[in-house]
C-alpha cells in the first residue's frame, strides 16, 4: 500500500480511515483466536510482528482516548457537585441538619471523584501504565529478534509467549530457563 501523507507528514483523512478499518478488523480476528501471522495475512500487514505492534499501539491510543473521556466526565461531575454544595451551603452552616447531610455527601462524592480516597482510580492508572509498558516490551523483543535475525516462526513464538506472560496467562511450563517451549515438546 502506498503511504499518502498530508503536509504535516501524517496520513491524510482517507488513509487514517483505512488504517482504522484495518486495525478494527485485526482486533476482531485476534479476539477470534487467529495467530498474528493469520491476522497479518488477512489484514494486509507485512508480517505478524507488524500486526502485533500496530495493535499494541492502537490499544495504547484507545487507552489515552478513554482517559481523556474520563477526565471530561470527572470535570462535569465536579461542577455538579460544586453547584449542589453551593445550593445547600448557607442552610447547612445555619444549622439545617438535612442540608448539612447533603453537603457532607457532596464532600464524600468529591473525594471519590477526585480520587483522594478511591483506590479504583489508582488501579485504572496502573492498568494503563501496564499496557504502555507491555507495548514497549513487545517492541524491545522485536528489536532484539531483528538484531539476531531470527526466523519468523521463532519471532512469533517469542511474541506469543511474551504476550501470554504479560497478560498473566502463561503457565510455568511455557518458558523454561529462557527457552520458549512448544506444546509438542
**3-state DSSP of 83-114:** HHHHHHHHHHHCCCHHHHHHHHHHHHHHHHHH
Q: Average per-residue pLDDT in the chain? A: 77
| pLDDT, tens only, 33-67 | 999 999 999 999 998 888 988 888 888 888 888 88
**Cα–Cα distance for residue pair 53/41, rounded to 1 Å:** 15
pLDDT at residue 142 tops 50: yes
Copy the grid coordinates of residue 55.
495493535
**Cα–Cα distance for residue pair 144/137, rounded to 1 Å:** 11
Distance, CA of 63 to chain centre = 4
pLDDT at residue 172 tops 90: no
Instruction: Write down the pLDDT at residue 91.
Output: 95
- Residue (of 85, 78, 70) closest to 111 by Cα position: 78
Least confident of 80-94, 111-125, 163-177: 163-177
Instruction: Write down the pLDDT at residue 125.
Output: 62
Please state, for a pLDDT cut of 90, what percent of the chain lies above it: 24
- Using 50, 70 and 90 to split pLDDT, how confident is the model at 171? very low
Within 10 angstroms of residue 9's Cβ, the number of other Cβ atoms is: 6
Q: Which residue has the higher pLDDT, 153 or 172?
A: 153
Q: What is the DSSP letter of 11?
A: B
- Using 50, 70 and 90 to split pLDDT, how confident is the model at 3? very low
**Cα–Cα distance for residue pair 161/182, rounded to 1 Å:** 10
Alpha-carbon distances of 10 from 7, 57, 139, rounded to whole Å: 8, 16, 21
- Residue (of 85, 135, 129, 131) closest to 111 by Cα position: 85
**Cα–Cα distance for residue pair 162/183, rounded to 1 Å:** 15
Q: Is the pTM of this model over 0.75?
A: no
First-residue to last-residue Cα distance in the chain: 39
pLDDT at residue 137 tops 50: yes
Instruction: Write down the pLDDT at residue 181.
Output: 42
| pLDDT, tens only, 60-117 | 888 888 888 888 888 999 999 999 999 999 999 999 999 999 999 999 998 888 877 7
Residue 76, judged by CB atoms within 10 A of its CB (0-12, 13-18, 19+), counts as exposed
Amino acid at each position: 500500500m502506498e503511504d499518502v501523507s498530508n503536509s504535516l507528514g501524517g496520513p491524510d483523512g482517507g488513509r487514517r480511515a483505512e488504517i482504522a478499518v484495518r486495525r478494527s478488523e485485526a482486533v476482531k480476528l485476534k479476539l477470534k483466536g487467529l495467530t498474528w501471522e493469520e491476522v497479518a495475512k488477512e489484514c494486509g500487514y507485512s508480517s505478524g510482528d507488524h500486526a502485533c505492534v500496530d495493535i499494541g499501539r492502537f490499544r495504547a491510543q484507545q487507552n489515552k482516548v478513554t482517559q481523556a473521556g474520563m477526565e471530561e466526565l470527572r470535570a462535569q461531575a465536579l461542577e455538579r457537585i460544586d453547584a449542589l454544595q453551593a445550593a445547600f451551603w448557607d442552610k447547612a452552616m445555619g444549622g439545617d441538619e438535612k442540608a448539612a447531610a447533603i453537603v457532607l455527601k457532596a464532600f464524600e462524592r468529591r473525594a471519590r471523584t477526585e480520587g483522594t480516597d478511591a483506590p479504583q482510580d489508582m488501579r485504572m492508572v496502573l492498568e494503563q501504565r501496564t499496557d504502555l509498558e507491555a507495548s514497549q516490551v513487545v517492541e524491545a523483543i522485536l528489536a532484539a529478534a531483528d538484531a539476531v535475525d531470527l526466523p519468523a516462526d521463532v519471532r512469533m513464538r517469542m511474541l506469543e509467549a511474551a504476550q501470554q506472560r504479560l497478560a498473566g496467562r502463561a503457565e510455568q511450563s511455557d518458558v523454561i530457563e529462557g527457552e520458549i517451549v512448544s506444546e509438542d515438546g
